[in-house]
Structure 1
Amino acid sequence: MSLESFFQAILSGSIAGAIVAGLVIKLWGSYVTEKGKNLATKQDIGEITKELERAKQPFFELQEQIRSTHQLRFAAIDKRLQAHQDAFVMWVKLMNAVHTKDRMKMVGECQEFWRSHCLYLDPNVREALSSACFAAQVFTVRQERTEKAEEDWKTIMAFPDVLFEAIRLTPISHTELERLKKPAEPDQHTAS
């Protein structure tokens, strides 16, 4: 092999080596750059995820608080509805006892009912029942003063409207109210 061919072979090998080396460096650089980007992205995703979790935490806590509150309210709905029904029954007894000797006994029962059920009653119903009890208590004392007795009777009779408004039921009709004022009469068909 001549010197010229030797140099030409070295030159060709050097050029080929330089090309291969350039490609390797370029590919390796792209690879390293891409790996670096991936690592940075993973770190960024980790930070973003942590930040997102921190931001979501107060909303989760609020959602849980609201759920608990509604759960308690729903658990008490039956008890509240029953308390309002019982308040109505108490009012009917009170209304029917106003003109009887049992008036003060009924006022006492009404006041005791109020104390044991007031937490379950709507605030307006609590107030109306308390006012009706007081009006029934002083009704006979005030009968000499017709105007005061009429005010007391209106206070007693206002209770159902307040109650029905609180529980959003249809108010009692005048006919139904009149039936409540009368003692129960035996059914003519079953009396025989």
Structure 2
Amino acid sequence: MLREPVMLERDIKKSIFLAQAAPVSTPTEAMEFIASVSDPDATHNCWAYLIGQTYRSDDAGEPGGTAGRPILQVIEGQGFDRTVVVVTRWFGGTKLGVGGLVRAYGGTAAECLRTAPRVPIVDMVDLTFTCGFSEHALLRARLESMDCQIVGEDFGAAGVGMHVALPTIREAEVRTRITDITRGQAVIRVVEEDVGQGVGD
């Protein structure tokens, strides 16, 4: 995914095309970014986003399939995820035709993303469990040394309820460590994230 928002401007046959891209985690974040960078005085603000299996694109008044879909194809083609791209056009008087529009919108988005700084996406999983008071300090230290983030702790009569987030690739190792330290007493549960997904074009 993108490390930070980026932008790129091109002049194509007297029309100005400005691509602006940003990392996003949810469709709501994507739509907020689109709203924040779209210029109401521009001729068109075309966009697309891809977040996991959720995607959406909009030609924003350009002929169907000439703007939003090419932008989406660029995001996919360059291996980006959790990314939104808006390409704004200020018409300069020369019509580009269907093929020209596809090349202009897709090409501007592609050039914007091609040199953009990236960061790897690390899939995470959240686990909850309860440990005894005597095990808490040791368990917390061990988990933090294994790239776990302590999301929350709940001190109750039966012990300490812990909620941790960790890279998915370390889940088996972390489960084993929790089981060992608690001598098999901890019941480990995965926190299910309820994420609605909609697909559009």
| Structure-2-length-normalised TM-score | 0.23
More strand by share: 2
Higher radius of gyration, 1 or 2: 1
Q: Which has the higher contact order (CA 8 A, sep 6+)?
A: 2
More helix by share: 1
| Structure-1-length-normalised TM-score | 0.24
